[in-house]
Amino acid sequence: MKRRIFLLSLFVFSFVFAVDPKVLEQWQKTMQYGISSQRIGVIKAIKDNKAVEGYDLIMKALATDDNPNVRGEAAYAMIELKLSNQEPWLQAVQRETNSEVLRRIAFGCSELKVQSAAPYLFSHLTNRLEDTKESLLVATILRALGELEYKPAEPTVLGILSNYQYTKEVRGAAAVAIGSIGGKSSIELLKTLINDPAEVKEVRMYSAYALGKTKVAEAFDILAPVIDNEKEDVNVRVWGLAGLAFLSGPQVGEKVIQYTRSDNILLRTEAIKTLAKIKETRAIEILKYKALYDPEVSVRKEAKNALQALGVDVTHLTNTSTNQVLTNTNTVTNK
């Protein structure tokens, strides 16, 4: 009996959310004969309704539509729907010439880990690197190459990072990328950039983060003094703290916990985010306290997000007033 009810429920669920064949046929015709705004409308309808039957139409549009606005909409839809099918992404990255659409494609390949797209992205990078108008695209491709861990790009990325002729956006992206694809060969350069007060802030920030991403043991000894330096730019300290999430060892846990008590909201918030990412046995206890009693609303919210990321049910955590006196040091009880 229970099995029949389950099957009936499954049938009803499928029936309710299935796309009407006539609607699907209309979508197909619109993608074939409609103007660009109509085709974009179809892509949005498929995305918003998560209509699996129409996913092929989006993938085909990404690879073959003759309008860049339609291709760009298709790229964002595929990212949101997590359509990681290799073939349409590969076709798109090989054929695309529009910079904005290519930027979206690079971002999609990065987010969905389309590993086979990396060589083509690298080719686009080398072809557009010297064009100052393409800085945003180049930076996006650099980050994608890092996420895809494309090792052949390492010498080029190191060259970009060490060359002051490139914009801070491009060099910052190169720093993040080298954190994923570089090894010990990148440590000295990253260390130099982090500790150079004449270097632009963005490059120093991302270099600190990248140093952690290398997962090299000595990274902690380089980052710890930077994080602890109260005269240092707080953004560099925050990104250095974020970099600790990729390192291991008891000293990492102690340093992160130390900054969950920081009076600086930015450092405290980043420490809470990092605490949820490292294997620290005290994490849940500390995060629960922060979710309830931290004086900053944004920090309490971040602590709850961190708990949820760890699989902890936060519905039972009540909003305790931060003005509540937990201890009254002015009251002495005489007995």
Tell me the mean pLDDT in the region 163-192. 94
Q: What is the pLDDT of residue 317?
A: 76
What are 133-138's contacts with CB under 8 Å, separation 24+? 134/99, 135/166, 135/167, 135/169, 135/170, 136/103, 136/169, 137/99, 137/100, 137/102, 137/103, 137/106, 138/170, 138/173
Tell me the mean pLDDT in the region 113-137. 96
Give the 3-state secondary structure of 41-90: HHHHHHHHHCCHHHHHHHHHHHHHCCCHHHHHHHHHHHHHHCCCCHHHHH
Q: Which stretches within the chain are classed as H helix?
A: 2-17, 21-33, 36-49, 55-64, 68-81, 86-95, 99-111, 118-128, 135-147, 154-161, 168-181, 187-194, 201-213, 219-228, 234-243, 250-259, 265-275, 283-293, 297-309
Type of residue at 33: Y
Angle CA 228–230–236, to nearest 5: 75
Percent of the chain with pLDDT over 90: 83
Q: What is the pLDDT of residue 312?
A: 87
- 261-313 pLDDT, tens per residue? 999 999 999 999 999 999 888 999 999 999 999 999 999 999 999 999 888 88
Tokens of 147: 């996420």
Tokens of 84: 């990681």
The mean pLDDT of the chain is: 90
Q: What is the pLDDT of residue 17?
A: 52
The predicted model scores a pTM of: 0.84
- 201-231 pLDDT, tens per residue? 999 999 999 999 999 989 999 999 999 999 9
Tell me the mean pLDDT in the region 170-185. 93
Given a cut of 50, whether residue 4 has pLDDT beyond it is no
Q: What is the pLDDT of residue 319?
A: 58
Tell me the mean pLDDT in the region 235-246. 97
- Residue 6 or 165, more confident: 165
Tell me the mean pLDDT in the region 15-32. 85
Tell me the mean pLDDT in the region 229-242. 97
Tell me the mean pLDDT in the region 157-178. 96
Given a cut of 60, whether residue 79 has pLDDT beyond it is yes
Structural domains of the chain sorted by starting position, each given as residue range(s) with its CATH number in brackets: 249-311 (1.25.10.10)
